Amino acid sequence: MTAIRVAGLRKLFGGAPAVDDVSFEVESGSILTLLGPSGCGKTTTLRMIAGLERPDAGEVRVGDRVVTSAEQGIHLPPDKRRMGMVFQSYAIWPHMNVFENIAFPLRGPLRGKRRPEVEIRDKVMTMLQSLGLEGLHDRPAPLLSGGQQQRVALGRALIGDPDVLLLDEPFSNLDARRRDEMRFELKEVQARVGVTTIFITHDQSEAMVLSDRVVVMNAGRIVQEGTPQAIYQQPSTRFVMEFLGQVDQLGARVAMAADGSPRARLDGAGDVEVALDASHPWRPDDEVILMLRSASVRVREPDGSHGWQGRVLSRIYLGERTEYVVGVGAARVRAFGSAIQLLDEGALVQLEFPAEAIRAWPAARPVGK
Amino acid sequence: MKRREALLGLTSLAAATTAAGNGAGAQGKESWDQVVAAAKKEGALVWSFFGAPGAATERHAKEFERLYGIKVELAPGRTGDFEARWNAERAAGKASIDIRSSGSPENRRLAARGLDQSFGTLPAAVEPSVPWILDPLIDVKAGNGHTLMTSAGGYFILVNNKLCPPAGGPRSYKDLEDPKFKGLIVLSEPIGPSPGSRWAAYAWKAYGDDHLRKVIDNVKALTRAEIEAPKQIARGEYGIFIHPTQVGAADIWKLPKPHPFRLVVPEDGVMLLFGATSLLKDAPHPNAARVFMNYQLTKSAQQINADDPGGPYIRRDVTPKVPELAHFATAKPFPNNPDTYEFGSKLFFEWSAKAEPYLKAAGLKK
Amino acid sequence: MATAESSIGRRAERVAGGRSRGSLRLETLLPAGLTVLVALLVLYPMGMVVLGSFWSAAPGQPGTLTLENWRSVLGDSATFEVLLTSLVIAVPRTLLALALATIFAWCIARTNTPFKRLLEGLLVFMFFLPELPWVLAWMLLGAPNVGLLNQWLGALVPGGEGLIDVYSYGGLIVLGAARSAPVLFLFVHPALLAMDATLEEAARMAGASAWRTVWRINFPLLLPALLASGILSFVVAMESFEIPQLLGTPANIFVFTTRIYDLAYGGHVANFGAAMVLALILLVLTGSLIVVQWRLLRGRAYTTVSGRGFKAQPLDLGAGRWIAFAVILGFFIVFGALPMVVLLLNSFMELSGFITWEMFTTQHWANALGRDDVLKSVRDTLVVGIAAATLGVVVSLFISYVVTRTAWRGRRVLDMMAWGPWAIPGLVMSLGFLWAFVWLPIYGTLWVVVLALVARGLPVASRFFTGTMVQLSAELEESARVHGGSWLRTFLRIWLPLLRPAVIGAWILLFVIAVRVLDVVVLLAGPGVRMLSVDIFLWTVTGRQEAGSVLALIQTALVIVGYVAVRLIARRTLQQSAH
């Protein structure tokens, strides 16, 4: 079932569109991630969903309710949308203690009724427990650590039993170790509560870990949408491929094979070729950009076969494994090798990677799908 | 301290005798030239006076500078401001003020405390056959310090015609005790160094406790802005003002006629107020001060005073700007007008203090 | 508090760590030198006030030590009656002003009220209006029956001429609040702007309506700032003199300050001793309030992890935004424009308060503009204003630095001393200054006035800087020292540029105070020094309001010119340094 439907959202800042024609749907109970570099419009999109920003065009539906529609002039205030939100800064109210911060959504005349104090206390205490914040209920908010603030923010966002949970880069203020922990914790809590969630991040690994679906945005527009695997394995544009992981770019030119199928021939390494998508109208000698995901490339000693061979230019010992820079023709390729068997600089090596780790685009424009 | 006072007394006596003596004319003339020369050498003068710089005080400063090339620094201030500053300066040995002009009681108190000094013989004060309203040397001649009388003014009754029509309005000071004037009167503060104090003292002296209480019962508000009060009468904020002309110009006479107010010259006589100037102890420019005090008594200087509507003057041979306000010079004076040295230096405070309990009872003072 | 203490100490240790051994350097001499200077400016005059309360005559005059002043004042029931009256006026005045300022600031900072910049400018403009002529204009407007407003009202509704009476408790409270509100606005508005907008948004997301958000989030967050500025404003209300003197005494309303004035200046014999006692009672009262305010600020200064700086979406007031606009504009028209227009008209009338064509004249303007002494007043006022503001900024900058950035042992004392001049009514402080400074060789020159004004401005300016300095990370300074900057170079190259907005703000504030203030200078502006404020006082109090109006308008123009000039200079230097 579709819980949230966003259609044609558009927001102008000073005449220039910050968000343009953004549409997507979120399945009930799933996590959708808006992924993109800073300034891509993902936060503005989230704020329009939250009701903190008014779109210039488009609409947002939650279930069967239209919460925002520029065309119909509907703009439900944020407090009427039954959403919970974790802000990037957490926005923990410094004049309240932990308990009051979390209890806040329960104290309003939400949905026309006022909850008894006992019920509020029970709910908040349960929430504190599930967040691992037992015993901190009367701590003043300014005395909390970053991780604690984040949990309080999460508790506050969830306690009112919202239809939608909005997360605005909730991990960016945490150190790396806490970040990893909190990712799993969040995923667990979300799965338990089953709340439909929209998550914002500029960190592709966060998106991969947490999301059911990912929407990649750039310059205010959606570039690609899909499951994490689909996006990672079939990036539709160079931008997406680059954004989703470390990539080496290799210059190549189109050459037709004997059977007429198009191949990309690596510059300066005549015998290294990659098959090209035959549905694209390639012309011989067209410039091609090859993009190779470093993480998938392995180094081993050459076995005499032709193909991706080069010399080790430099070596970085990382403990768990070893990173090499290998010169292949005119290009430099990063690749990984075993931590035990080290190859020396200057050694001839063979590169190995699965077919989907390399993709080719014409130099001027991306390949059509 | 005592010896010094005695010494000062002697000099003033000497000054008085010189002034009175006829044969001393030539010698006086010669020494006066010396005084003027010394004054020009001093080149400056600081003149403190009660109230604000007005048209007259500024004209005096300009005129005096034109005549003698001596610059006059105006230092306006009420009694408290003046005393606070001057006392602090004297304590630090830096007295900057030369002369002080104020109501006669303030000057007489300076004299009684020995805070003034002899100004010697002033040619203008001993000029023969000047029609003085009051002899400027009255205190000096009596051996009561060194107060020079420089102006005279009077108390009139200023009435708003709308709030208090002529029929049934007050005709005398005595009438003001009538309960029908309740809530109409604005009164210059009748205790402390302000013109209203002298009204309180006179009224008590002439008509007694009961009169003072009854008039105060009729008072709506006290004021310290004696120049603003006539305007308030003209605008109709209050009905009756016991109006001292001494303090400064009554600008309401510039209003187009018919005036919304009228001036009542009291039938029981005009209460006279004298203004005076003292040469202060430790004055840094004593000679310039003496030349200025002499200048104050000249006809041209007195005419400058009279050019201000209601401006106070002490010579009858000037032409007042608003003749209605000049009655103090000719009208019947209030019986036993008590503005004497004894009154100014001592009784004034005792008598005006009689008003205090009535003011408190009427809620006009805390 | 303990943590704040230790962190200040820690910072300072690091700063002091760069000191080379044995040599006396600027940074070590500064705190002590500063304390001596502030003691001279503040403690010495205040000491004179204390001495005056125990002396049988004015300080400097022959007399004896006595408890009589204290006995007579404390034994007089009137003392407590006037204190009560003062409270009855000051409390509602402050609350009303605070409410107005908060509402105005909120509308301008956080809603979609139209023409915000204009409204903000108008409120700042009101802060510049000189008090005394403003009150006098209100006497013309609001006198019962005959006041201009009452006449207009009377023409509209029968019996309307009796509606307004400025000579009343209501008049004192409302006009007092109208004076205080623009000043409070200057304090509250930045606090509202600085508030993290996501805190508000989080409440909206947590299901709170706009109004509940205001009440539960904005208001409590603002409370420390409101309390702090409210207390300062309350102190000002307690010390206010001109308004109660001109509007209160005619209605037989006597307050603490008018009582002080009565004792010091009103009697045949100045009773300075009793006046000093009253002032010290007020000092204890206001001083303890200031201590309360310190506590409030120290315990509840919220620092929050700041977000990405999303500008908060202004709250949509709907049609109400025009009401908000109309209310603020109306406030300006009634309490800012109207009195100024009356003042302007008055300056062209033969006779103050009689505003008709027949009375039209330009002689007051011709007089004022053509006179040497008015020009001298303008010149002296400008020189004093610029000198006092500049010196005041330098001294308070150093005070704030020592107080917030060093571990110097006397820094709390220094901080407290800088507060002194705020807690004593200007009326009495002026006597303290006189008695103290008359002994200095500079007495009788402009510089003694400058000194007094610097002292008077210290509390305001040092507050200004302390607030900003606390927010700046100590590492900024430390990195400069580590990279070879001397203390002075660090101060000039790091602190000063970082504090530039505060420096400009404080300078303008001090300049305005210096040009406007009356009580402090009235006894010091003796021969050789003329101040516009004193001239205006003398002219207006004794009834020459037409000429006083001219001077008041010149003074207002001066303040605004100073404000604009500094703004322009600041912008130019900013642009230059950007090249």
Neighbouring C-beta atoms of residue A261, cutoff 10 Å: 12
A92 shares its domain with A151: yes
Please enumerate in sequence order all residues whose Cβ is within 8 A of that of A349, keeping only pairs 6 or more positions apart, or say none: A299, A300, A301, A302, A309, A310, A311, A312, A324, A326, A343
Neighbouring C-beta atoms of residue C6, cutoff 10 Å: 10
Q: What is the mean pLDDT of residues B304-315?
A: 86
CB C235 within 8 A of CB C422: yes
Q: Which residue of A has its CA nearest to C305?
A: A89
CB C475 within 8 A of CB C542: no
Contacts of B46 in chain C (CB under 8 A): 527
Of A187, A216, A236, which closes a domain?
A236
The per-residue pLDDT for range A327-350, each reduced to its tens digit, is: 887 788 888 888 777 888 888 888
Task: Give Dmax over CA atoms of chain A in angstroms.
Answer: 81
Contacts of C196 in chain A (CB under 8 A): 89, 91
Q: Classify residue C98 as exposed, middle or buried by CB count within 10 Å of its CB (0-12, 13-18, 19+).
A: buried
Structural domains in chain B, sorted by start: 2-152+274-327 (3.40.190.10), 153-273+331-361 (3.40.190.10)
Q: Which two tokens stand for residue A359?
A: 């993709």
φ/ψ of residue A46, rounded to 5: -60, -40
Please enumerate in sequence order all residues whose Cβ is within 8 A of that of A335, keeping only pairs 6 or more positions apart, or say none: A294, A297, A298, A299, A323, A324, A325, A326, A351
Of A193, A215, A236, which closes a domain?
A236
The per-residue pLDDT for range C133-145, each reduced to its tens digit, is: 888 889 889 888 7
Instruction: Name which residue leads in pLDDT, A105 or B35.
Output: B35
Neighbouring subunits of A (3+ Cβ pairs under 8 A)? C
DSSP-derived 3-state class of residue A53: coil
A92 shares its domain with A203: yes
Instruction: Name which residue leads in pLDDT, B197 or C372.
Output: B197
φ/ψ of residue A4, rounded to 5: -130, 135
DSSP string, C523-572: TT--TT---HHHHHHHHHHTT-HHHHHHHHHHHHHHHHHHHHHHHHHHHH
Query: Is there a contact between B92 and C359 if contact means CB atoms under 8 Å apart?
Result: no
Q: What is the mean pLDDT of residues C415-430?
A: 81
Range with the poorest average pLDDT among A84-88, B323-327, C177-181: B323-327
Give the model's pLDDT for residue C454: 92
Instruction: Name which residue leads in pLDDT, B19 or A25.
Output: A25
Give the model's pLDDT for residue C24: 52
CB C57 within 8 A of CB C63: yes
**CATH number, domain containing residue A251:** 2.40.50.140
* Beta bridge mates, B262: B159
DSSP string, C307-363: -S-PPPPPB--TTHHHHHHHHHHHHHIIIIIHHHHHHHHHTTBSSTT--SGGGB--H
A339 shares its domain with A267: yes
Neighbouring C-beta atoms of residue C562, cutoff 10 Å: 21
Q: What is the mean pLDDT of residues C83-103?
A: 94
Give the model's pLDDT for residue B194: 78
Contacts of C198 in chain A (CB under 8 A): 87-89, 91
Query: Is there a contact between B91 and C60 if contact means CB atoms under 8 Å apart?
Result: yes
Query: Is there a contact between B75 and C146 if contact means CB atoms under 8 Å apart?
Result: no
Question: What rounded mean pLDDT belongs to chain C?
Answer: 81
Q: Which two tokens stand for residue C157?
A: 């509704």
Residue A368 lies in a domain: no
A64 shares its domain with A213: yes
* Beta bridge mates, B152: B274, B313
Give the model's pLDDT for residue B5: 40
Shortest distance, CA C355 to any CA of chain A (angstroms): 51
Shortest distance, CA C351 to any CA of chain B (angstroms): 7
Q: What is the mean pLDDT of residues C207-231?
A: 83
Residues in chain C: 579
Range with the poorest average pLDDT among A142-146, A306-310, B220-224, C32-36: A306-310
Q: How confident is the model at residue C310 (pLDDT cuts 50, 70, 90)?
A: very low
Give the model's pLDDT for residue B249: 52
The per-residue pLDDT for range C328-343, each reduced to its tens digit, is: 999 999 999 999 998 8
Neighbouring C-beta atoms of residue A337, cutoff 10 Å: 21
The per-residue pLDDT for range A279-289, each reduced to its tens digit, is: 778 888 888 88
User: Residue B82: which H helix or E strand, with range?
Assistant: helix B79-91
Contacts of C58 in chain B (CB under 8 A): 84, 87-88, 91
Neighbouring C-beta atoms of residue A2, cutoff 10 Å: 13
Residue A181 lies in a domain: yes
Q: Which two tokens stand for residue A323?
A: 């990173």
Rounded Cα–Cα distance for residues C359 and C351 (Å): 7
Shortest distance, CA C76 to any CA of chain A (angstroms): 45
User: Residue A164: which H helix or E strand, with range?
Assistant: strand A164-168
Is A283's Cβ below 8 Å from some Cβ in C?
no
Q: How confident is the model at residue B289 (pLDDT cuts 50, 70, 90)?
A: very high
Q: Classify residue B258 as exposed, middle or buried by CB count within 10 Å of its CB (0-12, 13-18, 19+).
A: exposed
Q: What is the mean pLDDT of residues B34-45?
A: 94
CB C111 within 8 A of CB C321: yes
Fold of C26-45+363-579: MetI-like fold (1.10.3720)
Radius of gyration of chain B (CA): 21
Please state the domain count of chain A.
2
A121 shares its domain with A223: yes
Domain layout of chain C by residue ranges: 26-45+363-579, 67-333
Range with the poorest average pLDDT among A302-306, B77-81, C49-53: A302-306
Torsion angle in degrees (nearest 10) through CA of C558, C562, C568, C570: 180
Residue A61 lies in a domain: yes
Query: Which of B174, B132, B170, B130 has the alpha carbon at shortest distance from B151?
Result: B132
DSSP-derived 3-state class of residue A227: coil
Shortest distance, CA A149 to any CA of chain C (angstroms): 10
CB A244 within 8 A of CB A235: yes
The per-residue pLDDT for range A116-130, each reduced to its tens digit, is: 889 999 999 999 998
Q: What is the mean pLDDT of residues C76-95?
A: 92
Terminal-residue alpha carbon distance, chain B? 37
Domains C26-45+363-579 and C67-333 share a fold: yes
Q: What is the mean pLDDT of residues C355-379?
A: 82
Domain containing A343 equals 246-362
Shortest distance, CA B243 to any CA of chain C (angstroms): 14
Torsion angle in degrees (nearest 10) through CA of B67, B68, B69, B70: -120
Q: How confident is the model at residue C178 (pLDDT cuts 50, 70, 90)?
A: very high
φ/ψ of residue A275, rounded to 5: -70, 140
Please enumerate in sequence order all residues whose Cβ is within 8 A of that of C204, keeping only pairs 6 or more positions apart, or say none: A51, A52, A77, A78, A79, C210, C213
Q: Classify residue B270 as exposed, middle or buried by CB count within 10 Å of its CB (0-12, 13-18, 19+).
A: buried
Q: How confident is the model at residue A364 (pLDDT cuts 50, 70, 90)?
A: low
Q: Which of C242, C354, C356, C433 would best serve as a mutation to test chain B binding (most B beta carbons within 10 A)?
A: C354
Neighbouring C-beta atoms of residue A348, cutoff 10 Å: 12
Please enumerate in sequence order all residues whose Cβ is within 8 A of that of C274, keeping only pairs 6 or more positions apart, or say none: C69, C72, C73, C263
Give the model's pLDDT for residue B52: 63
A126 shares its domain with A74: yes
The per-residue pLDDT for range A74-89, each reduced to its tens digit, is: 888 888 888 899 988 8
> Does the pLDDT of residue A255 top 80, yes or no?
yes
Is A104's Cβ below 8 Å from some Cβ in C?
yes
Q: What is the mean pLDDT of residues C374-391?
A: 90
User: Residue B274: which H helix or E strand, with range?
Assistant: strand B271-279
φ/ψ of residue A293, rounded to 5: -75, 115
Instruction: Name which residue leads in pLDDT, A256 or A30.
Output: A30
Query: Is there a contact between C199 and A91 if contact means CB atoms under 8 Å apart?
Result: yes
CA C37 to chain centre: 22
Q: Which of B1, B78, B83, B235 would best serve as a mutation to test chain C binding (most C beta carbons within 10 A)?
A: B235
Instruction: Name which residue leads in pLDDT, B316 or C472.
Output: B316
CB pairs under 8 A between B and C: 146
Sign of CA dihedral C526, C527, C528, C531: positive
Terminal-residue alpha carbon distance, chain A? 28
CB A59 within 8 A of CB C185: no
Instruction: Name which residue leads in pLDDT, C54 or C290.
Output: C54
Q: How confident is the model at residue C474 (pLDDT cuts 50, 70, 90)?
A: low
Rounded Cα–Cα distance for residues B41 and B284 (Å): 12
The per-residue pLDDT for range C21-74, each reduced to its tens digit, is: 444 566 677 888 888 888 888 889 989 889 989 988 877 777 888 898 899 889
Shortest distance, CA A85 to any CA of chain C (angstroms): 6
**CATH number, domain containing residue A231:** 3.40.50.300
Placement of tokens 């070893």 in the chain: A322
- Is the ipTM above a cut-off of 0.85? no
Q: How confident is the model at residue C6 (pLDDT cuts 50, 70, 90)?
A: very low
Of A217, A236, A255, which closes a domain?
A236
Rounded Cα–Cα distance for residues B122 and B317 (Å): 19
Q: What is the mean pLDDT of residues A191-216?
A: 91
Q: Chain B neighbours among C 356-395 (CB < 8 Å)? A: 358-359, 373
Is A78's Cβ below 8 Å from some Cβ in C?
yes
Shortest distance, CA A90 to any CA of chain C (angstroms): 8
Residue A241 lies in a domain: no
Q: What is the mean pLDDT of residues B24-44?
A: 79
Instruction: Name which residue leads in pLDDT, C223 or A28.
Output: A28
Q: Which residue of B has its CA nearest to C265?
A: B80
Residue A227 lies in a domain: yes
CATH number for the domain whose boundaries are C67-333: 1.10.3720.10
Give the model's pLDDT for residue C526: 65
Give the model's pLDDT for residue C478: 65
Query: Which of B201, B197, B165 has the alpha carbon at shortest distance from B181?
Result: B165
Query: Is there a contact between C206 and A84 if contact means CB atoms under 8 Å apart?
Result: yes
Query: Is there a contact between C206 and A79 if contact means CB atoms under 8 Å apart?
Result: yes
Please enumerate in sequence order all residues whose Cβ is within 8 A of that of C74, keeping only pairs 6 or more positions apart, or say none: C277
> Does the pLDDT of residue A185 top 90, yes or no?
no
Contacts of C441 in chain B (CB under 8 A): none
Contacts of B78 in chain C (CB under 8 A): 265
Query: Which of C544, C525, C546 has the alpha carbon at shortest distance from C534?
Result: C525
> Does the pLDDT of residue C411 top 90, yes or no?
no
Q: What is the mean pLDDT of residues C546-555?
A: 85
Question: What rounded mean pLDDT belongs to chain A?
Answer: 86
Is C538's Cβ below 8 Å from some Cβ in B?
yes
Give the model's pLDDT for residue C542: 63
Q: How confident is the model at residue B250 (pLDDT cuts 50, 70, 90)?
A: low
Question: What rounded mean pLDDT belongs to chain B?
Answer: 84
Is C70's Cβ below 8 Å from some Cβ in B?
no
> Does the pLDDT of residue C386 top 80, yes or no?
yes
Q: Long-range pairs for A302-307 at CB < 8 Å and ≥24 separation?
A: A302/A348, A302/A349, A302/A350, A303/A350, A305/A350, A306/A271, A307/A271, A307/A272, A307/A350
**Contact yes or no, B with A (3+ CB pairs under 8 Å):** no
Query: Which of C248, C144, C541, C151 has the alpha carbon at shortest distance from B183?
Result: C144
The per-residue pLDDT for range A230-244, each reduced to its tens digit, is: 998 888 888 999 888
Query: Which of C571, C503, C148, C558 has the alpha carbon at shortest distance from C375?
Result: C558
Instruction: Name which residue leads in pLDDT, C56 or C179.
Output: C179
Neighbouring C-beta atoms of residue A360, cutoff 10 Å: 21
CB B339 within 8 A of CB B351: no
